[in-house]
């Protein structure tokens, strides 16, 4: 039976480690980490995500500031707001919740964030540092996956890691991180995408399969090698009358048939998802303690 890679438990552990560190900082009269989140418009999902981040800050003892801006804000005014937060010495970390309204360039806003405060790890400077294996803020989902592998003592050296998906936020950084001369890392990596031929065959050759393509239950048992480690990043809401909420969550992997073949697997929900906020908190702590940019 596969080892369950438990993201819920691991994320709670990380949050409790962060809370202890905040306790030490408070006791020694140091500066309490402070995260600012910029939310543009009133998109329901974005409000939920930002709300969860603010609540998590409270849980670990951080300070947080939610900057709510009107959906009609001009790009120039938003850039000005980012600059204001960049210049505020009291704020350690800054995130701009995506997506932004169509009339605003995500690239311009991302590039405006001061790398020292970029706790989402999305700025060109921090992505470059990640690729060079320099100290950096690794973005939340890839960092969460690395921690899951590490804390479940999954061997990665010399393994063939296949990543399905090449997005800037998951697939692409994961492929770089898994190939690094580090632990987790030292894999031989194959990155795949929608133009890849023979995907089934490539997936079957994976010792570690990282799935982030955004298609419900795309990976089936016949695409997975016996004993593979399977990391499912996908999250989809499926209508389910039997649930109080009216829906249930599933991943990009057909869990019930893949789990019996895998040596270790992340469930959905309770796998990669809960790690994301824990990673953001960790990066904010690094920022407050000037660990990346001394
Ligand atoms: P994305 O930006 O939509 O990228 C999807 C990638 O998958 C693209 O590179 C695309 O290829 C590739 N792809 C699409 N169909 C494919 C196919 N049939 N075969 C092979 N590759 C295919 O997605 P994302 O932002 O990385 O997110 C992926 C999934 O993870 C989504 O379900 C998302 O909700 C979830 N997610 C979860 C978390 C979390 O915290 N757990 C965080 C982020 C994302 P092309 O480049 O060729 O188009």
Please report the DSSP string for 4-31 in residue order. Answer: E--HHHHHHHHHHHHHHHHHHHHHTT-P
When pLDDT is cut at 50, 70 and 90, the band that residue 12 belongs to is: very high
- Structure tokens given for 236: 């989809």
Per-residue pLDDT reduced to its tens digit, 130-152: 999 999 999 999 999 999 999 99
> What is the predicted pLDDT for the residue at 234?
97
What's the whole-model pTM score? 0.97
> What is the predicted pLDDT for the residue at 1?
77
Q: For the chain, give every domain's residue range.
A: 29-114, 140-273
Compute, in degrees rounded to 10, the torsion defined by CA atoms 266, 152, 228, 202.
Answer: 80
> What is the predicted pLDDT for the residue at 87?
98
Indicate if 42 belongs to the active site: no
The Å distance, Cα 86 to ligand 1 centre, comes to: 31
Residue 221 CB partners (closer than 8 Å, separation 6+): 254, 257, 258, 260, 261
Q: Best mutation site among 46, 121, 170, 196 for ligand 1, i.e. most ligand atoms within 8 A of its Cβ?
A: 170
**Atom 2 of ligand 1: nearest residue by CA position:** 167
SS3 148: helix
> What is the predicted pLDDT for the residue at 209?
99
Architecture of domain 29-114: 3-Layer(aba) Sandwich (3.40)
Asked, colleague to colleague, whether 29-114 and 140-273 share their fold, the answer is: yes
Indicate if 26 belongs to the active site: no
Is the pLDDT score of 77 beyond 80? yes
Mean pLDDT of the chain: 97
Establish how many alpha carbons lie within 13 A of residue 214's alpha carbon, considering only the half-sphere containing its beta carbon: 8
Annotated catalytic residue, options 15, 92, 97, 159:
97
Which class in CATH covers the domain with range 140-273?
alpha beta
The Å distance, Cα 213 to ligand 1 centre, comes to: 3
Residues in the chain: 294
> What is the predicted pLDDT for the residue at 29?
96
Output the CA–CA distances (angstroms, integers) from residue 17 to 91, 239, 283, in the order listed.
21, 36, 13
Per-residue pLDDT reduced to its tens digit, 86-119: 999 999 999 999 999 999 999 999 999 999 999 9
Ligand 1 atom closest to Cα of residue 236 = 32
- Structure tokens given for 67: 């900057």
> What is the predicted pLDDT for the residue at 152?
98
Give the residues across from 219 on adjacent strands: 253
Indicate if 120 belongs to the active site: yes
> What is the predicted pLDDT for the residue at 153?
97
* Contact in structure between 156 and 186 (CB atoms under 8 Å): yes
Per-residue pLDDT reduced to its tens digit, 153-207: 999 999 999 999 999 999 999 999 999 999 999 999 999 999 999 999 999 999 9
* Contact in structure between 38 and 67 (CB atoms under 8 Å): yes
> What is the predicted pLDDT for the residue at 141?
97
With residue 46 as reference, give the H or E element that holds it. Answer: helix 44-60
Per-residue pLDDT reduced to its tens digit, 204-254: 999 999 999 999 999 999 999 999 999 999 999 999 999 999 999 999 999
């Amino acid at each position: 039976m596969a080892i369950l890679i438990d993201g819920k438990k691991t994320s709670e552990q990380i949050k409790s480690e962060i809370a202890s560190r905040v306790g030490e900082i408070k006791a020694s009269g140091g500066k309490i980490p402070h995260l600012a989140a910029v939310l543009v418009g009133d998109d329901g999902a974005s409000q939920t995500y930002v709300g969860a981040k603010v609540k998590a800050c409270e849980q670990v003892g951080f300070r947080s500031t939610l900057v709510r801006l009107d959906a009609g804000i001009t790009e120039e005014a938003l850039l000005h707001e980012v600059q204001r937060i960049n210049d505020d010495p009291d704020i350690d970390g800054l995130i701009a919740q995506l997506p932004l309204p169509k009339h605003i360039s995500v690239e311009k806003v991302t590039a405006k964030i001061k790398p020292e405060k970029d706790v989402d790890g999305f700025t060109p400077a921090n992505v470059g540092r990640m690729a060079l294996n320099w100290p950096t803020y690794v973005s939340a989902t890839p960092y969460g996956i690395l921690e899951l592998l590490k804390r479940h003592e999954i061997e990665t050296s010399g393994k063939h890691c296949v990543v399905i998906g090449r997005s800037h936020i998951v697939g692409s950084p994961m492929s770089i991180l898994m190939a690094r001369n580090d632990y987790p890392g030292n894999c031989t990596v194959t990155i795949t995408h929608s133009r890849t031929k023979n995907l089934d065959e490539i997936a079957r050759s994976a010792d570690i399969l990282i799935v982030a393509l955004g298609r419900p239950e795309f990976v089936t048992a016949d695409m997975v090698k016996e004993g593979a480690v399977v990391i499912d990043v996908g999250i989809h809401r499926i209508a389910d009358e039997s649930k109080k909420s009216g829906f249930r969550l599933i991943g990009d992997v057909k869990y019930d048939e893949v789990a019996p073949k895998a040596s270790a697997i992340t469930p959905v929900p309770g796998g990669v998802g809960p790690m994301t906020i824990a990673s953001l908190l960790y990066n904010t702590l690094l920022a407050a303690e000037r660990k990346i940019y001394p």
